[in-house]
């Protein structure tokens, strides 16, 4: 395999299947390439030797990509995530330990056939967003030498961007899986909290931490998430993945509403406003409707992370080391955590109360949109700026990221352009908890529209999804008493329902006023000939409420698939044929409202 830069999952599977390379051949090549890059980029703290790789490669002997979904796929591991038998340092030699077992996510990936190449560099104790806070050396940007890689998952992003890993594991507490993705032209998935196990991960803030994926494309992140989103008994913060967020939720998006902050901050950057505006246009072109939102509640939640007691949560991990061996921890890390010992329980509860108030406000905003679009940061900062003002400039990078886990949302960073100096520029799409696959669907649509990815248009030459994407909202087509303003519409609104559109069915239906009652009820049936287009409404309700709505529907009515005028099939009201006995055909009225009006 001559081009080790193109390590996409599907490309590598095809190469293995065709016999173009073998895992041993590939890993020998990748090991040499990584070793050559490391002195310049400091991406690996520990690159596994060929001898250390051999047991993983031996496990693949006699197997094939048809048996193992990630057969021979090279991946890198942020060095705050355990790999059995290899020291975990969290970028602090004095803290280092050698785990006997791997983190749950690493065990999962190895069982699926993936092979770890090594442990990657990071901002010490995952406290930073820039990649310069490590005794193992600064991580510079993969494209422009005057800029940082971003952090804290610095080396993980570089491993993918520099073409030595198909994907990499990072962590994200305040933006560490999104900022380096944007700076290196990558997709960075920050899943919903608890979706990927954090067992075997050195905590930053245990209640907020997430394991993340860096990939070239959103489609690859979707595949990895579908394979590894599992409830883990080892992790008390693990959460089950709802059915609406499994792999089948990744698909084609044709219409959606995306929030755009009214108050956008770019800290004087001359290029970022235009790049962001161009992305808004691209999302509109793939079916998006922009909606202005008040962003101040999100920003206030972000400020709580470092101004409030969550700094003490970080200190709970490293405080003993700071007190016993103060020189073992970098000065900038100590400066970030210095106020933690003085934080009181009273301050903690007050901050939690305020955060809950803000979440209630933000959740109401999020209920009205399918996602929110933000810049990744107001502007990129240079290495020189970070050296001169390490805390302030790091804080600048977290402006659009720090609130995400505080408010329990999912997010994905996706490439969106380049600045005039060639530095990559991205955006973040974030949404309600457990809408990860839907967000990745939107990211995929944006990537396909712009052809922006790690390896250009070639990364997007596969077929686009054809099945509809779905999120935590279920659509239902109503044709009678559930129409807006009619007697049973409250059953939808009580469940958080929202009217999406008024439309018609395809011309293949008959509408009847059913016998019996009261109440007066319609029944709609599909016919093979003599059909008509019937006026209907498409509503959206939370998926968690859909079951109770279904059980409230009396016979002979039920829910099935209804074809709309534009050819779409949606779940909607249908009538069992036996219910038409004695019914009046009212199709000529074109809809239930017209029938009621003319009936008097």
Question: Annotated catalytic sites, by residue?
Answer: 78, 152, 176
Closest listed residue to residue 180, CA positions, set 200, 159, 196? 159
Token digits of residue 513:
């006023």
Contact yes or no for 413/426 (Cβ under 8 A): yes
Q: Which residues contact 588 (CB under 8 A, 6 or more apart)?
A: 532
Please tell me what DSSP assigns to residue 247: G
Rounded (5°) CA angle 98-92-165: 70
Question: Are the C-beta atoms of residues 402 and 378 closer than 8 Å to each other?
Answer: no
Task: From 274, 33, 51, 270, select the one nearest 163 (Cα to Cα).
Answer: 33
Yes or no: say if 432 and 193 are a contact pair by the CB < 8 Å rule.
Answer: no
3-state helix, strand, coil in the chain (%, to 5): 35, 20, 40
Tell me the two tokens of residue 313.
Answer: 């949560």
In the block, residue with structure tokens 């930073």: 128
Q: Which two tokens stand for residue 572?
A: 């909607």
Collapsing DSSP states into helix, strand and coil, what is residue 256?
strand
Closest CA to 479 of 468, 489, 490, 491: 489
List, as one string, the DSSP characters of 364-393.
Answer: HHHTT-SEEEE-SSSS---HHHHHHSHHHH
How far is the C-alpha of 540 from the C-alpha of 379, rounded, in Å?
37
The H or E element that residue 155 is part of is helix 154-161
The counts of H helices and E strands in the chain are 18, 19
Tokens of 31: 């090991």
Residue 562 contacts residue 536 (beta carbons within 8 Å): yes
> 543 and 244 in contact (C-beta within 8 Å)?
yes
195, 230 Cβ separation under 8 angstroms: no
d(CA 411, CA 433): 9
Residues 183, 383 contacting (CB under 8 angstroms): no
CA dihedral 322, 328, 333, 334 (to 10 degrees): 40
Do 405 and 425 form a contact (C-beta atoms < 8 A)?
Answer: no
Q: Where are the beta strands (DSSP E) in 432-533?
A: 473-478, 498-504, 509-513, 522-526
d(CA 97, CA 86) in angstroms, rounded, equals 8
Q: List, as one string, the DSSP characters of 86-113.
A: B-B-TT-GGG-B--SS--HHHHHHHHTT
Contact of 244 with 434, CB cutoff 8 Å: yes
d(CA 312, CA 338): 9
Polymer length of the chain: 600
């Amino acid at each position: 395999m001559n081009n080790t830069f193109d390590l996409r999952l599907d490309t590598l599977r095809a190469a293995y299947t065709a016999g173009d390379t073998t895992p041993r051949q590939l890993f020998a090549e990748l090991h040499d390439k990584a070793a050559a890059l490391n002195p310049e980029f400091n991406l690996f703290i520990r690159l596994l030797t060929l001898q250390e790789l051999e047991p993983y490669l031996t496990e693949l002997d006699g197997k094939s990509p048809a048996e193992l979904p990630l057969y021979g796929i090279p991946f890198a591991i942020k060095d705050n995530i355990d790999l059995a038998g290899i020291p975990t340092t969290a970028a602090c030699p004095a803290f280092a330990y050698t785990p006997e077992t791997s983190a749950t996510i690493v065990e999962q990936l190895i069982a699926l056939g993936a092979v770890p190449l090594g442990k990657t560099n990071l901002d010490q104790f995952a406290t930073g967003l820039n990649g310069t806070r490590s005794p193992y050396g600064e991580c510079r940007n993969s494209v422009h030498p005057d800029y940082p890689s971003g952090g804290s998952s610095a080396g993980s992003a570089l491993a993918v961007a520099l073409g030595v890993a198909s994907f990499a594991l990072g962590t994200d507490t305040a933006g560490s899986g999104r900022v380096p993705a944007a700076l290196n032209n990558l997709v960075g998935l920050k899943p919903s909290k608890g979706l990927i196990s954090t067992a075997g991960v050195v905590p930053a803030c245990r209640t907020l931490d997430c394991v993340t994926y860096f990939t070239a494309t959103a489609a690859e992140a979707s595949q990895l998430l579908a394979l590894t989103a599992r409830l883990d008994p080892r992790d008390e913060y693990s959460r089950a993945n709802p059915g609406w967020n499994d792999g089948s939720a990744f698909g084609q998006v044709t219409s959606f509403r995306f929030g755009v902050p009214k108050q956008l901050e770019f800290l004087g950057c001359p290029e970022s406003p235009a790049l962001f505006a161009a992305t808004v246009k691209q999302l509109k072109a793939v079916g998006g409707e922009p909606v202005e939102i008040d962003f101040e509640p999100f920003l206030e939640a972000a400020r709580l992370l470092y101004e409030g007691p969550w700094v003490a949560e970080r200190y709970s991990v490293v405080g003993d080391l700071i007190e016993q061996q103060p020189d073992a921890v970098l000065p900038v890390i100590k400066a970030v955590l210095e106020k933690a010992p003085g934080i009181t329980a009273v301050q903690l509860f007050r901050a939690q109360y305020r955060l809950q108030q803000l979440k209630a406000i933000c959740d109401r905003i999020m209920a009205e949109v399918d996602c929110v679009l933000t810049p990744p940061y107001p502007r990129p900062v240079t290495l020189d700026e970070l050296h001169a003002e390490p805390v302030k400039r790091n804080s600048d990078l977290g402006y659009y990221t720090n609130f995400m886990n505080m408010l329990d949302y999912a997010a994905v960073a996706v490439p969106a352009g380049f600045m005039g100096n060639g530095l990559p520029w991205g955006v973040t799409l974030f949404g309600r908890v457990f809408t990860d696959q839907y967000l990745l669907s939107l990211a995929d649509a944006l990537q396909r529209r712009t052809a922006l990815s790690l390896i250009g248009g070639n990364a997007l030459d596969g077929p686009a999804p054809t099945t509809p994407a779905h999120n935590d909202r279920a659509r239902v087509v109503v044709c009678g008493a559930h129409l807006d303003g009619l007697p049973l519409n409250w059953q939808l609104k009580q469940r958080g329902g929202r009217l999406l559109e008024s439309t018609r069915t395809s011309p293949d239906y008959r509408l009847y006023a059913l016998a019996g009652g009261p109440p007066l009820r319609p029944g709609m049936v599909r016919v093979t000939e003599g059909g008509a287009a019937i006026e209907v409404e498409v509503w959206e309700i939370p998926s968690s409420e859909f079951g109770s709505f279904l059980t409230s529907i009396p016979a002979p009515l039920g829910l099935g698939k209804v074809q709309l005028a534009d050819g779409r099939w949606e779940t909607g009201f249908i009538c069992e044929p036996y219910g038409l006995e004695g019914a009046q055909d009212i199709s000529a009225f074109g809809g239930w409202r017209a029938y009621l009006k003319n009936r008097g």
